[in-house]
Amino acid sequence: MPQDTSHRDPIHIALTFDDRYWAPAYATMRSICIVSRRRANIVFHLMHMGLGEEHRQALTAITAEYGAALEFYDLESDGALMDRVRQLPPVKHRHLNFSPMVYIRLFLTDIVPGTVERLIYIDCDMMVRAPIEALYNLDLGDYPIAAVLDPYGTGFQTGRDFRPKPYYDTTEPFFNAGLMVIDTRRLAAIDPVATAKARLSAEEFASVYYDQDILNISLRNNWLVLEPMWNLQNPTPSHEALDPRVVHYTGTNKPWLLFGETAFKRNYRHIMTNDYFYLFLRERIAARLPWLRPFLKLKRPAPVTTGTGRELPRSAP
C-alpha cells in the first residue's frame, strides 16, 4: 500500500495482554499495519504481564516488517500499579480467560508517557481492516473518549430477568471498551476508578463487571459514539458482507481456534502468519496436555530475511 510520508507525528496505540495472548497481539498489530498508509508513524505501547523473552522477540517482527515502533511495559515490575489493581474487585470469570489484565485499561493514562495526548486502545482479539489513522485523527470535541455502542449493553446494565442494576438506566447508551479513542488528559482528569467509587456504594462497586462497568459508570453520557463498523462485535461469516472496518471477536468463539465459525477466519490465520498460528496452537495443546510437550515443536520458527535485510517470520503461502 502506498505510504503517506508527509506526516511525522506518531500514532499511539495501546494493547494489554499476558503471555497467553502474545500471538493474538501480534495479529492485531499486523492487521493494523497491513492497511495503514502511515506504518512508520505507528507506536505500539505493549502493556504486558509475564511475557516470555521468546514471545517478546516474536513480536519485534512487526518493526522489522513495517517499521512501526514497539514500546514494552512490564506491568508486574510496577508495584504501585499492581497494588491499585489488587484493590479492585477480584476477577472471577476464569472460564473466559479473564485475569487482572482486564483492569489495565483503567490506568492507560498513568502508564504511557505524559507526552502522549491521543491514544487508541484496542483489544487483542480484534482485526483491523481500515486505516487506523482515520480513527486517530477523529475530532473528539470535549469528550474524553470515543467508542462503539455495545449490542449487549442492556444485558450489562441489568441483572436477572433484565431488571436494571440500581446504578444504571437502561435508556442510556453503554459502550464496548474493546476499542477506544482517548484524549489522555481529559480521561486522566476524570480518574475512572475514583469517579466510579464516588458514584457507587461499596457493595455496588464490589459487584461491578470489571473495567467495562467502571468506565461506563464514570463516563456516563460523556463519550462520543462511533459508527458500529469501527467495532463489529461477535462477527460471523455473514457479517463479512458489511465490510466492517474493525472486527471484534468477543465471547469464546475466537479466530485462532481450529474449529468454529467466525468472520474472516482464513484471513486472520494468514495475518497471524501460518507459522505463528500453528505455534500458538501447539503451545495451547502443550499447556492443556503437558505429556505431549516432547512431541510438539514449540520453538519459534527461524526468521527469513528479505532483500532489504529485514527479518520476517516464515509463512506458508
Share of the chain above pLDDT 90, in %: 77
* pLDDT computed for residue 75 by the predictor: 96
Q: Which tens digits make up the pLDDT trace of 8-41?
A: 899 999 999 999 999 999 999 999 999 999 999 9
Q: What is the mean pLDDT of residues 233-245?
A: 96
Pick from 61-65, 170-174, 216-220, 257-261: least confident: 257-261
* pLDDT computed for residue 134 by the predictor: 94
For residue 316, pLDDT beyond 60: no
Q: What is the mean pLDDT of residues 114-122?
A: 97
**209 or 187, greater pLDDT:** 187
pTM of the model: 0.91
For residue 92, pLDDT beyond 90: no
**299 or 45, greater pLDDT:** 45
What's the rounded Cα separation, in Å, for the pair 109 and 307? 40
> How many C-beta neighbours within 10 Å does residue 232 have?
25
* pLDDT computed for residue 313 by the predictor: 46
For residue 76, pLDDT beyond 80: yes
**119 or 166, greater pLDDT:** 119
Query: Mean pLDDT across the chain, nearest whole number?
Result: 90
For residue 221, pLDDT beyond 60: yes
For residue 250, pLDDT beyond 70: yes
* pLDDT computed for residue 310 by the predictor: 39
* pLDDT computed for residue 100 by the predictor: 83
Residue 159 φ then ψ, to 5°:
-115, -145
Q: Which tens digits make up the pLDDT trace of 266-308?
A: 999 999 999 999 999 999 988 887 776 666 776 666 554 343 3
* pLDDT computed for residue 287 by the predictor: 81
**249 or 314, greater pLDDT:** 249
On the 0-12 / 13-18 / 19+ scale of CB atoms within 10 A, 308 is: exposed
**204 or 314, greater pLDDT:** 204
Q: What is the DSSP letter of 127?
A: E
**195 or 261, greater pLDDT:** 195
> How many C-beta neighbours within 10 Å does residue 29 have?
26
Q: Which of 77, 40, 44 is nearest to 60 (CA)?
A: 44
For residue 315, pLDDT beyond 50: no
* pLDDT computed for residue 300 by the predictor: 61
For residue 251, pLDDT beyond 90: no
On the 0-12 / 13-18 / 19+ scale of CB atoms within 10 A, 317 is: exposed
Q: What is the mean pLDDT of residues 74-90?
A: 94
What's the rounded Cα separation, in Å, for the pair 271 and 26? 9
The answer to whether 108 touches 25, Cβ cutoff 8 Å, is no
Q: Which tens digits make up the pLDDT trace of 123-146?
A: 999 999 999 999 999 999 999 999
**151 or 300, greater pLDDT:** 151
* pLDDT computed for residue 208 by the predictor: 92
